[in-house]
């Protein structure tokens, strides 16, 4: 089995990364497999504490873990899913709110993988990663929007290479607290995991470059709508950039944009805003558009996904200067 390391997994130790992927096995079991050469990185033997880089290829001997048998334990989840486009190579979906991308030790059955397995079981039979079929990139649990779901090995690697070489063009809409000072600009810094909270990322002297261009859609009375064009694909990149600019994404508890921020406003304002924010039950970040080359025809193609009802309601209120 071959696994490609995404931008969100770089700088993670090899054994930690595989523990999160091969959730049926203990870390000690995985460390033994690394030690005896059953697991390699970029066709070379590796140590368990190797820090992974974006684009690394991990090969796992299927016989050592009986991967094919493990993949049969993945359960289908019959959950509503908007399919925007589908051909023999891939599908384009609108990821729903509140769903993580793939199974973890704490959630093996209610993930996007379980949904797309239910929707595209036949098409995914040739996907190279039986533990995460259809996943070539990820969106955070509460981030909605357009995602590419490759069906077969050829499509997966052709699309993965475009992500690796930053050829995939992405556009996000973020609804944030406050009024942005600049109408447009670029945020370019270094991000690394927080030592105080490993779930968070922050600016650092050491880490990985994170670059986002942004353009103001509308400053409202209390909130703003921003379009982001990320040039890199770091974990939580847009969420961190908004927070560190002083305008966290609405509903983003992890980065200071949670509902408690309402305490900074007058009581009569709080009541109206609280009702609006709580409707979405998550943060207000949406992957609105993606463009890439078709893996078979090499033609540039573009797809868009509409935000959900609650996101659209809040966006319209900001644009109309009502909040």
Both tokens of 141, joined, read 């649990």
Active site residue 140: yes
Quick one: CA torsion of 44, 45, 49, 51, rounded to 10 degrees? Answer: 0
| 226 phi/psi in degrees, rounded to 5 | -125, 140
Residues 137, 150: Cα–Cα separation, whole Å: 10
DSSP H/E element including 154: helix 153-164
Both tokens of 115, joined, read 């949904």
Q: String of b and e for 119-147 (b: at least 16 CB within 10 Å)?
A: bbeebbeebbbbbbbbbbbbbbbbbbbbb
Q: For the purposes of burial, counting CB atoms within 10 Å of the CB of 231, is it exposed (0-12), middle (13-18) or buried (19 or more)?
A: middle
Which residues 6+ apart lie within 8 Å of 120 measured at CB? 91, 134, 149, 151
SS3 257: coil
Catalytic residue among 140, 183, 252, 253: 140
DSSP H/E element including 155: helix 153-164
| 73 phi/psi in degrees, rounded to 5 | -80, -10
Both tokens of 147, joined, read 């995602």
Which residues 6+ apart lie within 8 Å of 84 measured at CB? 91, 92, 93, 94, 146, 303, 304, 305
Residues 177, 220: Cα–Cα separation, whole Å: 9
Catalytic residues: 140
């Amino acid at each position: 089995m071959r696994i490609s390391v995404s931008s969100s997994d770089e700088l993670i130790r090899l054994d930690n990364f595989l523990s999160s992927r091969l959730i049926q096995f203990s870390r000690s079991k995985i460390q033994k497999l690394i030690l005896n050469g059953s697991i390699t990185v970029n066709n070379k033997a590796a140590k368990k504490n190797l820090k992974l880089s974006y684009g690394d290829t991990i090969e796992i001997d299927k016989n050592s873990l009986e991967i094919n048998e493990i993949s049969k334990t993945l359960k289908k989840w019959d959950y509503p899913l908007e399919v925007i486009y589908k051909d023999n190579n891939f599908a384009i979906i609108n990821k729903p709110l509140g769903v993580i991308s793939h199974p973890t030790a704490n959630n093996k059955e209610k993930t996007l993988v379980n949904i797309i397995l239910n929707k595209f079981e036949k098409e995914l039979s040739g996907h190279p990663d039986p533990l995460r079929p259809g996943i070539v990139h990820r969106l955070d649990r509460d981030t909605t929007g357009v995602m590419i779901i490759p069906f077969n090995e050829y499509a997966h690697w052709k699309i993965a290479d475009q992500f690796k070489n930053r050829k995939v063009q992405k556009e996000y809409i973020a609804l944030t607290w406050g009024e942005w000072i600049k109408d447009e600009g670029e945020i370019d810094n270094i991000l690394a995991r927080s030592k105080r909270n490993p779930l968070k990322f922050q600016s650092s002297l050491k880490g990985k470059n994170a670059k986002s261009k942004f353009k103001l859609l509308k400053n409202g009375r209390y909130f703003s709508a921003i379009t982001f064009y990320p040039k890199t694909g770091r974990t939580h990149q847009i969420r961190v950039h908004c927070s560190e600019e002083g305008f966290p994404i609405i509903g983003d508890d992890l980065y200071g944009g949670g509902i408690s921020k309402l305490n900074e406003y007058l009581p009569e304002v709080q009541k109206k805003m609280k009702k609006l924010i709580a409707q979405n039950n998550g943060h207000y970040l949406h992957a609105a558009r993606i463009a890439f080359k078709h893996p078979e025809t090499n033609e540039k193609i573009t797809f868009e996904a509409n935000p959900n009802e609650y996101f659209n309601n809040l966006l319209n209120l900001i644009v109309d200067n009502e909040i």
